[in-house]
Structure 1
Amino acid sequence: MTLSLAIPDILVARAKSGDLEALEALYRAFETPVYNLALRILRSPEDAEDVLQETFLEVVRSIGQYRGEGHLWGWIRRIAASKALMRIRRDQVRATEEFDETAAGHVGPVGAVPARIDLERAFDRLSETSRAVVWLHDVEGHTHEEIAELMGKTVSFSKSQLARAHDQEGAVS
């Protein structure tokens, strides 16, 4: 699904000059699509709301860098997707740290910890893009079409990133 809102160039120019009414108009125009995108990625209304706020703080800070090439929604969507992916990574690090703290006092089956460490190392060796594709596809359950739209890439890009990542992970296991 491609969103195409007709945003007048004069509104963007006013927003670039710091006009609060113009910035508010952009927020109102893109609030729902940004929230829905974040909700699809994160599956949490609270996290989606946080990403919505973080996205528009970034839009306000960076609107001067928008060059008018392509649709404004594409630029805002990339910011929102990046914020959502950063939240996934942050939450993943937090979960790993919590697991490590819990596991420190627990002796599990022989070989379980080394296998987990190998998997984490394999995941760490992937590029940020490949990690994002693996996470979105294998963990969050997104389709290649959704990943392509989210990342502003093609479906074949998503498929090839996933295949390469799985090949690279398989070399470790």
Structure 2
Amino acid sequence: MTEQATGFDERPLLERARAGDAEAYSELVDRYARRIFRLARQITQNDEDAEDVLQETFLKAYEHLGEFEGLSKFYTWIARIAVNEALMKLRKRKWDKTVWLDEPVAMGEDVVAREIAVWDDPESRYSRTELQEILDKAIESLSPPYRSVFILRDVEEFSIEETAKALDLSVPAVKSRLLRARLQLREKLTAFFKRKVEDPFAYL
């Protein structure tokens, strides 16, 4: 979402913050803290770690504020810091495993398009809240590298190029991981709704 769409121009706040205005930086923190926490929580799946990531993100952003050139949105810049911090948390917990993540897949990205799953009108059987909870659980089941790409691209709506920059990946690697993440989610969600139809009490 663009600054024009939200009616907010962050540039004056950034200029003041870079000039040492702590109140201006505090306003930026207040504006983006909830989104950064949500992003960190989606990656770490842990409130305590997400809070640590939130604090570290804004501390590091403040320390390196002079390095922000304004070539991207401020949120994109701090989100990159947050993603790096969150992935460091995962590595410290030794969740990462060596896997071949970026092998070519035998399907074009347009096969999946932007739809995550295909099922028979789930909205007729589930509330929006229930559907969100089901989707959240499916996203949490993705391995961290796939989950990070999916969250930035399809949840935070970063462009492919912004996602690649945030995760320090090539554009082809992002596309490969994104497709794999979408395919895995499609499989998980389709299986879920199929089982619910066959056995309404399967997940109770």
TM over 0.5: yes
Q: How does 1:4-153 map onto structure 2 within 5 Å?
A: 6-92=8-94, 123=98, 137-138=142-143, 142=147, 145-146=150-151, 148=153, 152-153=163-164
Q: CA deviation at 1:146?
A: 2.2
TM-score (ref. length: structure 1): 0.60
Cα 1:69–1:49 change in 2 (3 A) is same
CA contact (8 A) 1:27 1:56 kept: yes
The one-letter code of the counterpart of 1:78 is R
How far does the alpha carbon of each residue in 1:134-161 deviate from its partner, in whole angstroms, 9 at most, with x for none?
xx94358738532545771398633535
Deviation at 1:42, TM superposition (A): 0.7
Give the Cα–Cα distance (whole angstroms) in 1 for the partners of residues 92 and 39 of structure 2: 18
Same amino acid, percent of matched pairs: 31
Bigger helix share:
1
Structure 2 gap ranges (5+) = 103-140, 165-169, 180-204
Cα-to-partner distance string for 1:49-104 (whole Å, 9 max, x where unaligned): 01000000011101111101121110011011111011111111xx79xxxxxxxx
Q: Deviations over 1:9-64 (max 9, x none)?
A: 12101111121101111110111000000000011111110100000001110111
Asked if 1 retains the 8 angstrom alpha-carbon contact of 2:163 and 2:174, the reply is no
Helix, strand or coil: the match of 2:72?
A: coil
Structure 1: gaps (5+ residues):
97-119, 131-135, 164-173
User: What's the C-alpha RMSD, in Å, of the aligned pairs?
Assistant: 3.7
